[in-house]
Amino acid sequence: MNPILHKIVETKKSEIKVSRGKTLPDRQVPIHDWKSHLKTNSVSVIAECKKGSPSAGILRSDYDPVAIAKQYEESGAGAISVLTDESFFYGSLRDMESVAKVVSLPVIRKDFIIDPVQIDEAYAYGASAILLIVRILSTSELKTLHDHANRLGLAVLVETHNEGEVNVALEIGANTIGINTRDLDTFQIHKNLIEEIAPKLDKSIIRVAESGIEKFEDWQKYKGMIDSMLVGTFFMKSKNIPADFQSLLNGSNATQSQ
């Protein structure tokens, strides 16, 4: 495991010990259906609220997840991903809760989930879905967490980085599989990964392309292979999210460099 990823997971273990002693709030929002928003006649967008990352630093100094989420919904996003990790990605559960209260879309908790208490938090703070990363979990852990989320009525995006991890995801019954082209060990982008893996997945699976999508051409070659794409950094660097959202979908000129 990459040293940064190892450090993140170890930090999560410490955070979870503290979380176990906290009383969770009552959920304030409905669970929004995941499949109907992502499995459409066209490629849907899971648009991400992310202030920064360990590799990129602060991406958006004027980060306002609620304002960003409203722009995403108005632009036609199928779902909204919110980074809730505080120590490395500058997010919080409160960010996610605030977003979930103002949109009528599924909101996914994007974090390094390794314990059921984190899923209970996701439910309490308004998530309709969670992310599980195969790379940081054993098969039995993955299944336990996947099943726990499903019992709460939450959808699960299972993130994979190679064909072996996809097979693990299928083994535990995942019906939404993310293919992340960013290698978690080297942080390099392997754009051919989706073309190698996605066509092998049954079309009943919600197939999500993750990382490295910054322009229309980046995902056009995946049409027919994927149902959705998760896009974060591209939007976080944008000076005009609605315009760049349409440029990504339709191939018009982007505004980021203007």
Pairing of strands 52-53, 228-231: unpaired
Q: Could you tell me if residue 8 is inside a domain?
A: no
Q: Could you tell me if residue 116 is inside a domain?
A: yes
Cβ–Cβ < 8 Å for 130, 156: yes
**What integer pLDDT is reported at residue 129 of this predicted model?**
98
CATH code, 198:
3.20.20.70
**What integer pLDDT is reported at residue 31 of this predicted model?**
98
Q: Is 228 helix (H, G, I), strand (E, B) or coil?
A: strand
Q: Could you tell me if residue 4 is inside a domain?
A: no
Number of independent structural domains in the chain: 1
CA 81 to chain centroid, in Å, comes to: 5
Cβ–Cβ < 8 Å for 80, 256: no
Q: Range of 232's domain?
A: 29-250
Query: 170 CB contacts (<8 Å, ≥6 apart)?
Result: 177
> DSSP assignment of 194-207, as one string?
HHHHGGGS-TTSEE
List the chain pLDDT tens, one digit each, 258 residues.
778 889 999 999 999 999 998 999 999 999 999 999 999 989 999 999 999 998 889 999 999 999 999 999 999 999 999 999 999 999 999 999 999 999 999 999 999 999 999 999 999 999 999 999 999 999 999 999 999 999 999 999 999 999 999 999 999 999 999 999 987 766 677 878 999 999 999 999 999 999 889 899 989 989 889 999 999 999 999 999 999 999 999 886 555 543
Total Cβ atoms within 10 A of residue 9: 16
